[in-house]
């Protein structure tokens, strides 16, 4: 039985139900607390392109999920929706798993903004393959 807190035991099935695409692509929630969230992309048959790099839409999905998970923890508002998201691609993502970490930039009454960094788990943490800034709108 769950309490009202959004911890991993509650977040994972919620993401599986809310965004089934995440599981299809091999995206899993690795960590989530009030400070940050971490999402992992494991190897999966659908994600790579010729040459072995991870396709852009999959990194977009990682960023979107990571931001949404942190929003769940910080605001406990499952009905929030992405208002806009800018993603910058820096270099081909050739190594799996990939990690995406979201941190909070702003927690307003109606809008939340997140910074998300994506890098290969086995590389230095500043060897980013992509970075995103996502703004979510809260309902009500």
Q: Which residues of this protein are in contact with a second copy, per CB under 8 A?
A: 17-21, 24, 46-47, 49-50, 55-58, 60-61, 64, 81-92, 105-106, 108, 110-111, 113, 115, 128, 131, 133, 135, 137
Nearer to a second copy, 7 or 90 (CB): 90
- Helices 56-75 + 8-18 axis angle, to 10: 130
Minimum distance, C-beta of residue 60 to a second copy, in the bound complex (Å): 4
Nearer to a second copy, 113 or 121 (CB): 113
Task: Please report how many Cα atoms fall inside a 13 Å half-sphere around the Cα of residue 5, on the Cβ side.
Answer: 6
Nearer to a second copy, 28 or 89 (CB): 89
Supply angle C-alpha 78, 83, 87, rounded to 5: 110
Minimum distance, C-beta of residue 106 to a second copy, in the bound complex (Å): 4
Helix (H, G, I), strand (E, B) or coil at 7: coil
d(CA 107, CA 25): 29
Minimum distance, C-beta of residue 9 to a second copy, in the bound complex (Å): 20
Dig out the tokens for 109 from the structure.
């009454």
């Amino acid at each position: 039985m769950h309490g009202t807190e959004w911890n991993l035991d509650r977040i994972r099935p919620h993401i599986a139900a809310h965004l089934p695409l995440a599981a299809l692509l091999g995206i899993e929630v690795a960590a989530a607390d009030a400070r940050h969230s971490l999402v992992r992309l494991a190897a999966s048959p659908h994600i790579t392109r010729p040459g072995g790099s991870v396709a852009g839409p999959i990194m977009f999905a990682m960023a979107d999920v990571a931001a949404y998970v942190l929003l769940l923890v910080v605001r406990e508002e499952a009905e929030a929706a992405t208002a806009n998201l800018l993603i910058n691609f820096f270099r081909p993502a050739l190594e799996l798993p990939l990690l995406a970490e979201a941190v909070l930039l702003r927690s307003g009454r109606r809008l939340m903004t997140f910074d998300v960094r994506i890098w290969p788990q086995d590389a230095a943490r500043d060897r980013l393959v992509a970075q995103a800034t996502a703004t979510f709108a809260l309902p009500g």
